[in-house]
Amino acid sequence: MAYASFGCTGGDPTVDIPTKAPTVAPTAASTETPAVSETAEPTEVPTPDPTYDPTEAPTSAPTPAPTPKPANTPAPTPKPANTPAPTPKPANTPTPKPSDGTEPPAYSPPPTQVPPVDPDQSVFDDAVLIGNSVLHGLYYFHVITHGDFLTKVGLNVNTIYTYTMTDESTTKIIDELNGKGYKKVIINFGLNEVSWPYQNVFIQKYSKLIDDILSRVPGAKVWVVAVTPVTQKYSEGKGNEINITMERINATNGLIKQMCAEKGINFIPTPSSLLDSRGYLPADASSDGVHMNLKYDRLWADHITLSVMGVI
């Protein structure tokens, strides 16, 4: 049974919206907790596939009239052998920089892998997926249709202890795991926390959350999904104003990867299919620069599925 978690706005009008719509007011945050910036809900406007029909009939090329040979054409002088024409040296092309003149964040995209099998979502039949509004998009748009979802707009490593799935429920989201017997847990947090001033605090809370999850589903195998990228426009604009930039996301993902190694759990990195040549989410992947559209949600879901299957 998938848990419906709402809060997304501007969804695809052709998509069936889950019938239960939780709207939960968070409890007062602890005074020691850094301020959390919540990201906007995805807006999905699927566009039709482009057509490739020619727009006009091809025009046949005219047959050129033969050119008469001039009289008394002198024989051409043979070109000296082994005299290659010099190749002009290309001018140096400067590396493009962001509009503020700073160097772009260093990034080496992971190599593209060709999986030996197709993604099989039945791998999630004994799994629960937990996370914020970005992961919620995979449920809301029916991209992943197996397993249970505990996802909600604004969910982070603090609010999972205080939010409930619906207004009527009194069970905190973390306690929805009790007695379920899940064998797999897929977690995605960090985008709402990357703006926190001290990322070591986020990592400490993330680590504790994973321990608390495993205490409720003992023996489950855990996969932690990297914080998803944002577009260059968002990173240099609104994201820069609220400290959600690709530079910070890359640094946070490095800390998450290290945490997973120390805890002996699986880390799922961002696939190259979600990144442009400079390491940002492609401009056509999102209307708000943060939440991915259906095309890129599917690429991300396939990557997560193949990772959990263990084939990449």
The answer to whether 129 and 147 are in contact (CB under 8 A) is yes
pLDDT greater than 90 at residue 280:
yes
Cα separations in angstroms, 178 against 4, 64, 273: 17, 82, 36
Residue type, 57: A
Interval 286-299 mean pLDDT = 98
Classified as helix, coil or strand, 170 is: coil
Residues in the chain, overall count: 312
Angle (CA) 280-281-282 rounded to 5° is 105
Interval 179-188 mean pLDDT = 97
Interatomic CA distance for residues 48 and 46, integer angstroms: 7
pLDDT of residue 82: 56
Bin 154: left if φ > 0, else alpha if -120 < ψ < 50, else beta.
left
Q: What is the pLDDT of residues 246-259, one digit of tens each?
A: 999 999 999 999 99
pLDDT greater than 70 at residue 71:
no
pLDDT of residue 263: 98
pLDDT greater than 60 at residue 22:
no
% residues pLDDT > 70 (the chain): 63
Q: What single string gives the DSSP state of each residue in 84-126? A: PPPPPPPPPPPPP--TTSPPPPP--PPPP---SS---GGGGTT
More confident site: 27 or 203: 203
pLDDT greater than 80 at residue 145:
yes
Cβ partners under 8 Å of residue 252, min gap 6: 190, 193, 194, 199, 202, 227
The answer to whether 6 and 163 are in contact (CB under 8 A) is no
Mean residue pLDDT of the chain comes to: 78
More confident site: 136 or 72: 136
Can you name the residues that pair with 151 across neighbouring β-strands?
A: 131
pLDDT greater than 60 at residue 52:
no
pLDDT greater than 70 at residue 51:
no
Angle (CA) 244-247-251 rounded to 5° is 100
**CATH number at 121-309:** 3.40.50.1110
Bin 170: left if φ > 0, else alpha if -120 < ψ < 50, else beta.
alpha
Determine how many CB atoms are found less than 10 A away from the CB of residue 107: 14
Beta strands 127-131 and 148-151: pairing type?
Answer: parallel
